[in-house]
Copies of this chain bind each other. A is one copy, B any other.
């Protein structure tokens, strides 16, 4: 790989990936519209002469075409998406534009400019609510319950067809919740924000029993780099995850511990999910990626604790 195009490169995961790619010596072209990504996220990368930034909306056809034409990347990492499921629950148009259409535009440009290798950031949300199933890559009946999951599953379908029709080699990872520095939303972020405002009480959406695996972002970036050149034709799909999982109440406990707060009262809003479209728990079978020789460094609980430490210590939380 000589030149990597990272679409959504100033976002939470994308910015970590840009950093890891630069550390490997790659030239990195970052495209971001700064709808969720920030300049702060890529402030270190921007000091590197191998890094170039385009502020551009990847859902717009001509914009992305100009970048492909000018830069001629040989690998595309597509991480542009709305990553805030809760936000799109009240406005599905966000997923249509930012998640599905960006994928269609990226693939159309790859087809047109003959770029034959890509990575795609998919999600556990494509499985829908199959809480009693140990989810592996061959699990049937993928029935997303969120607009986010639907747009990601639609994107996977596009990748299959474009890969077949244009001999594109695609690596697709289905992520669980990803956490770590530069997180901009989600339960950990919310708890810290709320507790900075009021250290006595904490509102918890749902019954607190929602339990999911949380992966640390550096583990994920390392996995992407490790698998990016698999040399296999077609689409290679992996569930990427960690050992263990963490309940929402356990997250609240860790946040309180790390912030040095005791006797915080938890106020549960009740119900199984935090909001409609939230999948209260899921379990991943990781045999495929473990069999390929990769394991996450941090467990789910460790990932949560590290994240809380970094975020609570920083000044980035807007109360």
A contacts, CB < 8 Å to B: 89, 92-93, 96, 100-101, 104, 107-108, 111, 126, 128, 138-147, 149-151, 153-155, 157-158, 160-162, 164-165, 235, 276-277
Inter-chain contacts of A104 with B (CB < 8 A): 92, 96
Inter-chain contacts of A151 with B (CB < 8 A): 157-158
CA A295 to CA B26, docked complex, whole Å:
59
Smallest CB gap from A153: residue in B: B157
A-B contact pairs, 26 of them (CB 8 A): A92-B104, A92-B107, A92-B108, A92-B111, A100-B154, A128-B164, A138-B141, A140-B140, A140-B141, A142-B142, A143-B160, A144-B160, A145-B160, A145-B161, A145-B165, A146-B165, A147-B158, A147-B165, A150-B162, A151-B157, A153-B153, A154-B155, A157-B157, A161-B277, A164-B277, A165-B277
Inter-chain contacts of A158 with B (CB < 8 A): 147, 150-151, 154
Inter-chain contacts of A144 with B (CB < 8 A): 157, 160-161
State whether A157 and B160 are in contact (beta carbons under 8 Å apart), knowing that A92-B111, A235-B143 are contacts in the complex. no
Main secondary structure of the interface of A (DSSP, over half): helix
